[in-house]
């Protein structure tokens, strides 16, 4: 029998245990809801722009326990409905309240392999925290993301201090000999590939992740900067996935270094494609090819390399006394503009064609950018980049916009104000207007959509080839860490069920 214990049937998450009843009785709802939300301690903006240290400093034990008390342990928790990986939110938070931090991590580990990452970069305000009952009381929701981060960080620190390897909770180790020997290949080591790999390894499959680059983690490593997501945090979570038995092969670009047929020859019976959306999108305006105009990829890969002291780190960028404009207002744009300040830029601007309320970046990122002195040129759209006598970028022409009717995304469309064009001096432009999917070479044509994505069934992640599944940005287009992870988890469940069916049919036959 498959020993993998489905999270829903795990006693670790049951609300009816004695200890949870006792905790609920210990404080009244009125007492809990009168506690103010504990705010995340942060490095002051005037100091943090001079360094690359993580801005959010994490909750102390006492702060975490205090915040955990606010959670009402709801019988029908709205928070869980908003979590794409279905974290057992009240179960882990109540473990924090009773100071059982290792159990809190065990609970989280049932559903996520990246709690320290998600606790830092997920847009909780649009997901779990948006579903928290406190919103109905017009009070700030329980700080679920900050508590998730606390649990992961606390356990990582304890394991470091006490000298043992990555903390792998016992429940996560339950592998079934049932699937032992079935080889599964994962293409891409970003959040989607990691979530899929972790869940398959827990079920007992023999999983190998192939990564094109020389480092693991996808955008978590080469996109999101250290001041939002320290690389040692990502490394520690990847080490936990490796502890589950997942093997990693770096510097292998499937479709180029190694073909799909080779994967089959090596005995891989299932393939999960999670190659992300790494192709930069351009606006197609005059001057986009000038020296001084960069894509977010070129710029952030260099920035992150500089801060990881590897061979690429020789290519140190400095923007001292430079004026930098970042085009777009998503998370990538906020990271890029805040990185510019840390590289010494004299002026760092966001240029965005809609208004502030339509900006897609996480609220916290926008707040941090404002505090750090970023200028926001909202309702402005670049129409041309201009060169000086040496052919290098020196200015940009910006069209003023106003908002019209909502478009298909529900956001009000920007409309040009006739004749309202201004010229602004600039030394570097970073274009962050989105990414396109990055399918592997040699992928069968029938699996590709017209937009370059991989076509799969929404629920299972299964493609029209029964052994090939896909998820994350390669299926959705540029999205979020947690949506990519949710895809990985659903595909793992579906692929495993397909193998179970094949095996039980073979046994019966």
Ligand X SMILES: Cc1cc2nc3c(=O)[nH]c(=O)nc-3n(C[C@H](O)[C@H](O)[C@H](O)COP(=O)(O)OP(=O)(O)OC[C@H]3O[C@@H](n4cnc5c(N)ncnc54)[C@H](O)[C@@H]3O)c2cc1C
Binding partner at 255 among ligand X, ligand SF4, none, C-beta below 5 to 8 Å by kind = ligand X
d(CA 89, CA 80): 6
Q: Decide if 472 contacts 276 (C-beta within 8 A).
A: yes
Piece of the chain touching ligand X by CB under 6 A; list 5-13, 206-214, 387-395, 444-452 = 206-214
Residue 78 sits in the site that holds ligand SF4 (CB under 6 A):
yes
Are the CB atoms for 231 and 221 separated by under 8 Å? yes
Query: CB-wise, 79 or 395, nearer to ligand X?
Result: 79
144 binds, options ligand X, ligand SF4, none, Cβ within 5 to 8 A by partner type? ligand SF4
CA geometry: angle 264, 267, 271, nearest 5 deg: 60
Interaction partner, residue 276 (ligand X, ligand SF4, none; CB < 5-8 Å by kind): ligand X
Q: Which residues pair with 462 in a beta bridge?
A: 469
Per rule CB under 6 A, is residue 90 in the interface with ligand SF4?
yes
Query: Which one of ligand X, ligand SF4, none is in contact with 295 (Cβ closer than 5 to 8 A by kind)?
Result: none
Q: Which of 12, 40, 59, 72 binds ligand SF4 (CB under 6 A)?
A: 72
Q: Is 280 helix (H, G, I), strand (E, B) or coil?
A: strand
The reply on whether position 479 binds ligand X by CB under 6 A is yes
Kindly indicate which of the ranges 72-80, 224-232, 363-371, 480-488 contains the residues binding ligand SF4, using the contact rule CB under 6 A: 72-80
Q: Site for ligand SF4 (CB under 6 A): which residue of 38, 89, 107, 345?
A: 89
Binds 224: which of ligand X, ligand SF4, none (CB < 5-8 Å by kind): ligand X
Q: Measured from the CB of residue 245, what is the shortest distance to ligand X in angstroms?
A: 20
Residue 192 touches which of ligand X, ligand SF4, none (CB < 5 to 8 A by kind)? ligand X
H-state helical runs in 176-259: 191-202, 219-222, 231-243
Q: Which stretch binds ligand X (CB under 6 A): 51-59, 163-171, 177-185, 477-485?
A: 477-485
Place of tokens 């109540």: 94
Q: Does 210 bind ligand X (CB under 6 A)?
A: yes
Separation of alpha carbons 64 and 62, rounded Å: 5
Q: Which stretch binds ligand SF4 (CB under 6 A): 67-75, 154-162, 224-232, 288-296?
A: 67-75
Q: Is 192 in the site for ligand X (CB under 6 A)?
A: yes
β-sheet bridge partners, residue 254: 258
| Contact partners, residue 242, CB within 8 Å, separation at least 6 | 248
Residue 413 has a CB neighbour count (10 Å cut-off) of 16
Residue 199 or 335: which CB sits closer to ligand X?
A: 335
- 285-315 in b/e burial notation, b at 16+ Cβ within 10 A? bebbebebbbbbbebbbbbbbbbeeeeeeee
> Is residue 226 within the footprint of ligand X (CB under 6 A)?
no
Strands 468-470 and 268-273: parallel
Q: Which of residues 110-149 bind ligand SF4 (CB under 6 A)?
A: 132-134, 142, 144
Nearer to ligand X, 52 or 275 (CB): 275
Which residues from 344-373 bind ligand X, rule CB under 6 A? 362
DSSP letter, residue 330 = S
> Which residues, in sequence order, are bridge partners of residue 257?
none
Interaction between residue 219 and ligand X (CB under 6 A): yes
> 13 or 484, CB closer to ligand X?
484
* 3-state percent breakdown (helix, strand, coil) of the chain, nearest 5: 40, 20, 40
Q: Is residue 462 helix, strand or coil?
A: strand
Q: Residue 448 burial (CB < 10 Å; 0-12/13-18/19+)?
A: middle
User: What is the C-alpha to C-alpha distance for residues 377 and 373, in angstroms, rounded to an integer?
Assistant: 13
How far lies 299's CA from each of 289, 345, 359, in Å? 15, 14, 21
Q: Minimum distance between the CB of residue 143 and ligand SF4, rounded to whole angstroms?
A: 9
| Among the listed residues 379, 473, 495, 496, the single contact to ligand X using CB under 6 A | 473
**Contacts of 467 by beta carbon, 8 Å cutoff, 6+ apart:** 269, 270, 271
Smallest gap from Cβ 401 to ligand SF4, in A, equals 38
**Pairing between β-strand 293-295 and β-strand 279-280 as defined by DSSP bridges:** unpaired
Binder to ligand X among 77, 440, 461, 486 (CB under 6 A)? 440
- Contact flags string 243-262 toward ligand X, x per CB under 6 A: ----------xxx-------
**Using CB under 6 A, which residues numbered 93 to 132 contact ligand X?**
121-122
Asked if 67 and 38 count as a contact pair (C-beta separation under 8 A), the reply is yes
Checking phi first, is residue 469 left (phi over 0); if not, alpha (psi -120 to 50) or beta?
A: beta
Among 24-32, 145-153, 318-326, 331-339, which window interacts with ligand X (CB under 6 A)?
331-339
Kindly state the helix (H) or strand (E) to which residue 500 belongs, with its residue range: helix 481-508
Residue 396: name the closest of 370, 433, 432, 421 by CA: 421
- Residue 78 interacting partner from ligand X, ligand SF4, none (CB closer than 5 to 8 Å by kind): ligand SF4
In the bound state with ligand X, the residue whose beta carbon lies nearer, of 175 and 478, is 478
Per-residue binder mask for ligand X (CB under 6 A), 149-188, x = binder? --------------------------------------xx
The residue ranges that bind ligand X (CB under 6 A) are 121-122, 187-193, 210-213, 218-219, 223-224, 253-255, 274-276, 278, 300, 331-332, 335, 362, 438, 440, 472-473, 478-482, 484
The residue ranges that bind ligand SF4 (CB under 6 A) are 71-74, 77-79, 89-90, 132-134, 142, 144
């Amino acid at each position: 029998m498959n020993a993998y214990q489905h999270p829903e049937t795990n006693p670790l998450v049951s609300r009816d245990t004695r200890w949870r009843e006792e905790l609920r009785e210990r404080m009244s709802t009125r007492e809990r809801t009168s506690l103010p939300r504990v705010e995340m301690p942060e490095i002051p903006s005037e100091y943090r722009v001079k360094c690359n240290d993580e801005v959010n400093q994490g909750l102390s034990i006492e702060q975490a326990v205090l915040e955990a008390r606010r959670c009402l342990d709801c019988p029908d928790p709205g928070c869980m409905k908003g979590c794409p990986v279905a974290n057992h939110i009240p179960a882990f938070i109540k473990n924090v309240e009773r100071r059982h931090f290792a159990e809190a991590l065990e609970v989280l580990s049932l559903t996520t392999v990246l709690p320290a990452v998600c606790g830092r970069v997920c847009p909780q305000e649009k997901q779990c925290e948006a579903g928290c009952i406190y919103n109905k009381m017009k009070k700030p929701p329980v700080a679920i993301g900050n508590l998730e981060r606390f649990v992961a960080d606390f356990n990582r620190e304890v394991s470091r201090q006490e000298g043992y390897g990555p903390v792998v909770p016992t429940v996560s180790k339950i592998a079934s000999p049932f699937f032992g020997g079935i080889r599964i290949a994962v293409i891409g080591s970003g959040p989607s590939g990691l979530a899929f790999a972790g869940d398959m390894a827990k079920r007992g499959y023999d999983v190998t992740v192939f990564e094109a680059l020389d480092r693991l983690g996808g955008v978590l490593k080469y996109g999101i900067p250290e001041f939002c997501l320290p690389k040692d945090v990502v490394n520690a979570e990847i080490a936990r996935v490796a502890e589950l038995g997942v093997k990693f092969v770096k510097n292998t670009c499937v479709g180029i270094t190694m073909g799909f047929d080779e994967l089959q020859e090596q005995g891989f019976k299932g393939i999960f494609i999670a190659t992300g959306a790494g192709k930069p999108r351009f606006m197609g305006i005059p001057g986009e090819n000038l020296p001084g105009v960069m894509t977010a990829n070129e710029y952030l890969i260099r920035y992150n390399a500089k801060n990881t002291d590897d061979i690429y780190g020789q290519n140190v960028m400095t923007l001292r006394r430079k004026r930098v404009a970042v085009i777009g207002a998503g998370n990538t744009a906020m990271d890029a503009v805040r990185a510019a300040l840390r590289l010494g830029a004299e002026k760092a601007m966001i240029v965005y064609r809609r208004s502030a309320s339509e900006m897609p970046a996480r609220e916290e990122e926008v707040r941090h950018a404002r505090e750090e002195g970023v200028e926001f040129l909202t309702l402005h759209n670049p129409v041309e980049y201009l060169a000086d006598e040496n052919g290098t970028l020196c200015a940009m022409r910006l069209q003023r916009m106003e908002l019209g009717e909502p478009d298909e995304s529900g956001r009000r469309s920007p409309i040009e104000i006739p004749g309202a064009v201004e010229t602004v001096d600039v030394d570097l432009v970073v274009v962050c207007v989105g990414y396109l999917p990055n399918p592997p070479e040699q992928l069968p044509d029938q699996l590709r959509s017209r937009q370059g994505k991989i076509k799969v069934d929404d629920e299972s992640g299964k493609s029209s080839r029964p052994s090939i599944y896909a998820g994350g940005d390669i299926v959705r287009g540029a999205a979020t860490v947690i949506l990519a992870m949710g895809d990985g988890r659903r595909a793992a469940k579906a692929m495993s069920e397909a193998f179970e069916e094949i095996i039980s049919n073979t046994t019966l036959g």
